[in-house]
Amino acid sequence: MITRQDCLALDAQDRLAPLREWFDIPEGWIYLDGNSLGVLPRATPGRLQQLLREEWGRDLIRSWNSAGWIDLPRRVGDKIARLIGARAGEVVAADSTSVNLYKVLMAASHIMGQDHPQRRVILSERSNFPTDLYIAESLAHERGWRLELVEAEELPAALTEEVAVLLLTHVNYRTGHMHDMAALTRAAHAAGALVVWDLAHSAGAVPVDLHGADADFAVGCGYKYLNGGPGAPAFVWVHPRHVQRFWQPLAGWMGHAEPFRFSPSYEPAPGIARYLCGTPAVIAMSALECGVDTVLAAEPLGGMAALREKSIALTSLFAELVEARCAGHGLTVVSPREPEHRGSQVCLTRAEGGYAIVQALISRQVVGDFRAGDPRMPDILRFGFTPLYTRFVDVWDAVEQLVQVMDSGQWREARFHQRAAVT
Amino acid sequence: MITRQDCLALDAQDRLAPLREWFDIPEGWIYLDGNSLGVLPRATPGRLQQLLREEWGRDLIRSWNSAGWIDLPRRVGDKIARLIGARAGEVVAADSTSVNLYKVLMAASHIMGQDHPQRRVILSERSNFPTDLYIAESLAHERGWRLELVEAEELPAALTEEVAVLLLTHVNYRTGHMHDMAALTRAAHAAGALVVWDLAHSAGAVPVDLHGADADFAVGCGYKYLNGGPGAPAFVWVHPRHVQRFWQPLAGWMGHAEPFRFSPSYEPAPGIARYLCGTPAVIAMSALECGVDTVLAAEPLGGMAALREKSIALTSLFAELVEARCAGHGLTVVSPREPEHRGSQVCLTRAEGGYAIVQALISRQVVGDFRAGDPRMPDILRFGFTPLYTRFVDVWDAVEQLVQVMDSGQWREARFHQRAAVT
């Protein structure tokens, strides 16, 4: 059985260990919730002070040119492109994941409306992240289409000749299950459908190769593994074969071919810039850039492949330790065992007390989160492992605290059962 | 003729003068571009440091509850409501002006589609801000409607029985012309149309009374007179009589009745919260809150009415001084003479050299901006007067620099004719 000493040895050998220095992690805390909100990069406060005091405060409106504010969506997009198998000029950072999803679903639905008007179904997974389903539901309503939800294993059979768009999140937010992007994209294309991938739990967490998978559209989140800060701008990618075909409906001035011509009629910019809408969120986008830079800092150390290797080691270790040391406490690992089917998180379930166990862990400075189940899905205790800043000893210490919470029955205390507004 | 000494005396008597202390204005500069980007509030850098280091860096995910992040869109919305004649609970801060405009235009078009399906025209002004026209054009395309553009004086006659929605910007971004919101809303209602007001150049600049005017929908911008910082979140208001009627299509999880139930099907939140979409931009929204607070700081000093009185005095003084002191240089005031038809800006035009004149002024630390004309509209030299921080002596000094630029012919120097990417 692995010991705490072994974990310390693993950390000492870890060539990615220096990346932890890129972050300000609160002393004494073990933070396993980077899949919900990444930690603060050390560079961000200084960068924002410079932005506020010099670029905004001192240089004011000139900074649109002199500080390159106007290029931020493309500059940050190009950086994100390096993490997801896209090329420079194919990604922009903008708006929220939900808004970007609307843009690409509209584009996909219009392309299919032209090419295959009899296809009017968006197919997705019932356990997809709700906002993805809401946006798809709204769009289906708007266009007289239908949203069909199935379980993951039913997807191949559900790819009928009615399906226009397959909409999937690459790594499931609840279970950490990771789809085979290349295989599902192939299956969808073979069935005549387009594919939209939500990379919210993938970008910066697992290697993604959008061109390798021949994907059609992708969106993703800036505040999880990209460490862009709470509510950071999101990103959007469209395959070059589609990008010129449609004028997405959020046709704001920043997506215009010449925004500063102030022409009264819309002419979409060539390429991905037409997926921009309003004025770029300069402050938020600058924080996002600092976050993306923390992931790019891994490039000289092996990049996403090296991060993935460490992530698998961390998640495997956590699952093994929980099973070995919490046996008899009714905790079950619900994330896939096979690393190739698992993102950078491990989820547990328990018939009762999941919320309180997470709260008891937080009281011991170990942060995960809880997602309530329903008749169809079990409660989830969710633990994310960001390889940029999570150490092997953190995994050991987190499990040690879990063992103590369970062995002592501490989680039964009333104080751990009070629900907060945001869970 | 008024003298610089008189202007200093006016400043000494100005009961709003202390509000300038709320801002960090670069020493020696006269900034007359707050209609494009408001200046940095003194509180913002400290507030963002606290947000970054304590709320994000130290407390991480808990801050959604403990720091009230989840309430930001409503809390900031309630503050903005006080400036625009809306009530608490009727406004949210979210997304960009363009995105919010899409939401309300969709809502208005669906309501009219139900009530008066034969009305399929969005009527607007040809010189409306382009992004408003692009979004309207896109929506018209999407819904099989038509966008009709007329000159301001043609609006009443153009309100035919085909018109579903009248879309107007309250204060024109080029000329500073201010519509009579109450009269035009009455006319539109009498003609059977709904009205959407864009308050981008109004909120924080001129008194707005949405309920008094009986308006239907409004959107507005956070980074101009609200001083929220570059690309700040925007806001959206919907009259209570409409808000429950339609589920706007950007149906993201933050607009759900119970976002943290993670239900697979959408159920819109009651009230204006259904106009939220993705995760709130916490960093950007916190900067916006500091900006809105600078305008609310005027409340004990007479609020928007007092700000308006000073704004009229500043803009009138500028127009008079330009006409008196730059006579013979071909500069014409194109903003309305009557203060009641003018926002908080004064625009000049000149047959040639407008861009270079603005650049020459900037080289003399007087910041306005330039908007190129077209065969239909003249070039514009634009000067915004934010009463929160603009002094009477700034007006005098700005005109003095303009006099020198014109008298010396300095603007003819080649260096002032080089165009920047963002104008």
Q: Is residue B373 within 8 Å of residue B319, measured between CB atoms?
A: no
Instruction: Say yes or no to pLDDT of A23 above 80.
Output: yes
Would you say the C-alpha torsion B64, B66, B72, B74 has a positive or negative sign?
Answer: positive
Give the residue on A whose Cα is nearest the Cα of B372: A261
Measured between CB atoms, which of A64, A279, A371 is closest to B96? A279
Helix (H, G, I), strand (E, B) or coil at A422: coil
Q: Is residue B351 within 8 Å of residue B207, measured between CB atoms?
A: no
Does the distance separating the beta carbons of B279 and A251 come in below 8 Å? no
Measured between CB atoms, which of B33, B99, B283 is closest to A278? B99
pLDDT of residue B247: 82
pLDDT of residue B374: 85
pLDDT of residue B377: 87
User: Which are the contacts of B307, defined by CB distance < 8 A and separation ≥ 6?
Assistant: B16, B204, B205, B295, B298, B387, B388
Measured between CB atoms, which of A29, A60, A231 is closest to B279? A231
Say which of A382, A383, A391, A394 is annotated catalytic.
A382
Closest CA to A237 of A365, A94, A132, A362: A94
Q: Which fold has domain A4-40+303-415?
A: Aspartate Aminotransferase, domain 1 (3.90.1150)
3-state secondary structure chain B: CCCHHHHHHHHHHCCCHHHHHHEECCCCCEECCCCCCCCEECCHHHHHHHHHHHHHHHCHHHHHHHCCHHHHHHHHHHHHHCCCCCCCCCEEEECCHHHHHHHHHHHHHHHHHHHCCCCCEEEEECCCCHHHHHHHHHHHHHHCCEEEEECHHHHHHHCCCCEEEEEEECECCCCCEECCHHHHHHHHHHCCCEEEEECCCCCCCCCCCHHHHCCCEEEECCCCCCCCCCCCCEEEEECHHHHCCCCCCCCCHHHECCHHHCCCCCCECCHHHHHCCCCCCHHHHHHHHHHHHHHHCCHHHCHHHHHHHHHHHHHHHHHHHHHHHCCCCCCEECCCCCHHHECCEEEEECCCCHHHHHHHHHHCCEECEEECCECCECCEEEEECCCCCCCHHHHHHHHHHHHHHHHHCHHHCHHHHCCCCCC
At residue A278, φ and ψ (nearest 5 deg) are -90, -170
Which residues on chain B are in Cβ contact (under 8 Å) with A372?
261-262
Inter-CA distances, A355 with A398, A419, B258, B261, Å: 16, 8, 18, 14
Parallel, antiparallel, or unpaired for β A121-125 and A380-384? unpaired
Look up residue A262 and give its DSSP letter. Answer: -
Compute the average pLDDT of residues A10-33. 97
Instruction: Say yes or no to pLDDT of A423 above 80.
Output: no
Per-position pLDDT tens, chain B of length 423: 899 999 999 999 999 999 999 999 999 999 999 999 999 999 999 999 999 999 999 999 999 999 999 999 999 999 999 999 999 999 999 999 999 999 999 999 999 999 999 999 999 999 999 999 999 999 999 999 999 999 999 999 999 999 999 999 999 999 999 999 999 999 999 999 999 999 999 999 999 999 999 999 999 999 999 999 999 999 999 999 999 998 889 999 999 999 998 988 999 999 999 999 999 999 999 999 999 999 999 999 999 999 999 999 999 999 999 999 999 999 999 999 999 999 999 999 999 999 999 999 999 999 999 999 988 889 999 999 999 999 999 999 999 999 999 999 999 999 999 998 887
> Average per-residue pLDDT in chain A?
97
Give the residue on B whose Cα is nearest the Cα of A24: B57
Look up residue A307 and give its DSSP letter. Answer: H
Is the predicted ipTM greater than 0.90, yes or no? yes
d(CA A389, CA A40): 11
Does the distance separating the beta carbons of A277 and B98 come in below 8 Å? yes
Look up residue A152 and give its DSSP letter. Answer: G
pLDDT of residue A246: 86
Mutate to test the interface with B, among A253, A285, A374 (most CBs of B within 10 A): A253
User: Which are the contacts of A58, defined by CB distance < 8 A and separation ≥ 6?
Assistant: B26
How many beta carbons lie within 10 A of that of residue A387, not counting itself?
Answer: 29
Which residues on chain A are in Cβ contact (under 8 Å) with B280?
230-231
> For the segment A241-268, what is each residue's pLDDT rounded down to a tens digit?
999 998 889 999 999 999 998 888 999 9
d(CA B385, CA B336): 15
pTM exceeding 0.95: yes
Compute the average pLDDT of residues A388-399. 98
Q: Is residue B394 within 8 Å of residue A43, measured between CB atoms?
A: no
**Alpha-carbon gap: A322 to the closest alpha carbon of chain B (Å):** 24
Start-to-end CA span in chain B (Å): 34
Instruction: Say yes or no to pLDDT of A130 above 80.
Output: yes
Q: Which CATH architecture best describes the domain A68-296?
A: 3-Layer(aba) Sandwich (3.40)
* Farthest CA pair distance, chain A: 70
Instruction: Say yes or no to pLDDT of A314 above 90.
Output: yes
Confidence bin at A37 (pLDDT 50/70/90): very high
Taking each helix axis as running N to C, give the angle between helix A303-325 and helix A392-408, from 0 to 180 degrees, rounded to the nearest 10.
20
pLDDT of residue A377: 87
Helix (H, G, I), strand (E, B) or coil at A405: helix
Q: Is residue A76 within 8 Å of residue A292, measured between CB atoms?
A: yes
d(CA A201, CA A173): 7
At residue A396, φ and ψ (nearest 5 deg) are -60, -50
Q: Is residue B44 within 8 Å of residue B287, measured between CB atoms?
A: yes
Helix (H, G, I), strand (E, B) or coil at A304: helix
- How far does Cα B259 stand from its chain's mean position? 31
d(CA B149, CA B169): 13
Exposure on the CB side of residue A68, measured as CA atoms within 13 A? 9
DSSP lists the bridge partners of residue A169 as A198
pLDDT of residue A131: 96
Mutate to test the interface with B, among A49, A149, A279 (most CBs of B within 10 A): A279
Inter-CA distances, B280 with A97, A155, B15, B73, Å: 11, 32, 37, 7
Q: Domain limits of chain A?
A: 4-40+303-415, 68-296
Does the distance separating the beta carbons of B60 and A37 come in below 8 Å? yes
Inter-CA distances, A26 with A92, A366, B262, Å: 32, 11, 29
Look up residue A114 and give its DSSP letter. Answer: H
Place of tokens 């950072």: A93
The domain B4-40+303-417 is classified under which CATH number: 1.10.10.10, 3.90.1150.10, 3.40.50.300, 2.60.40.650?
A: 3.90.1150.10
Does the distance separating the beta carbons of A252 and B135 come in below 8 Å? yes
| E-assigned strand segments in A108-267 | 121-125, 146-150, 163-169, 194-198, 217-220, 234-238
Look up residue A171 and give its DSSP letter. Answer: B
| DSSP per-residue string spanning A326-388 | STTS--EE-S-SSGGGB-SEEEEE-SS-HHHHHHHHHHTTEE-EEE--BTTB--EEEEE--TT
d(CA A333, CA A341): 14
Is A223 assigned a catalytic role? yes
Rounded to the nearest 5 degrees, what angle is found at the Cα of A368, between the Cα atoms of A366 and A369? 140
Start-to-end CA span in chain A (Å): 34
Q: Is residue B73 within 8 Å of residue B218, measured between CB atoms?
A: no
The pair of three-digit structure tokens given for residue B263, joined into one six-digit string? 């239900």
Measured between CB atoms, which of B36, B65, B256 is closest to A421? B65
Does the distance separating the beta carbons of A279 and B133 come in below 8 Å? no
Does the distance separating the beta carbons of A49 and B60 come in below 8 Å? no
User: Which are the contacts of B99, defined by CB distance < 8 A and separation ≥ 6?
Assistant: A95, A99, A250, A252, A277, A278, B234, B250, B277
Say which of A31, A102, A217, A223 is annotated catalytic.
A223
Is B62 assigned a catalytic role? no
Look up residue A84 and give its DSSP letter. Answer: T
pLDDT of residue B358: 98
DSSP lists the bridge partners of residue B219 as B198, B236
Instruction: Say yes or no to pLDDT of A216 above 80.
Output: yes
Helix (H, G, I), strand (E, B) or coil at A249: coil
Measured between CB atoms, which of B259, B266, B281 is closest to A281? B281
Q: Tell me if domain B4-40+303-417 and domain B68-296 are identical in fold.
A: no
How many beta carbons lie within 10 A of that of residue A290, not counting itself?
Answer: 22
The pair of three-digit structure tokens given for residue B357, joined into one six-digit string? 């004149």
Does the distance separating the beta carbons of B278 and A281 come in below 8 Å? no
d(CA A420, CA B200): 36
Burial of A152 per CB tally in 10 Å (0-12, 13-18, 19+): middle
Burial of B346 per CB tally in 10 Å (0-12, 13-18, 19+): buried
Does the distance separating the beta carbons of A281 and B249 come in below 8 Å? no
Q: Is residue A322 within 8 Å of residue A331, measured between CB atoms?
A: yes
* Farthest CA pair distance, chain B: 70
Place of tokens 């701008």: A233
Mutate to test the interface with B, among A277, A376, A386 (most CBs of B within 10 A): A277
- Exposed e or buried b for every residue in B321-339, given b needs 16+ CB within 10 A? bbeebbeebebebbbbeeb
Q: Is residue A270 within 8 Å of residue A244, measured between CB atoms?
A: yes
Say which of B120, B174, B224, B342 is annotated catalytic.
B224
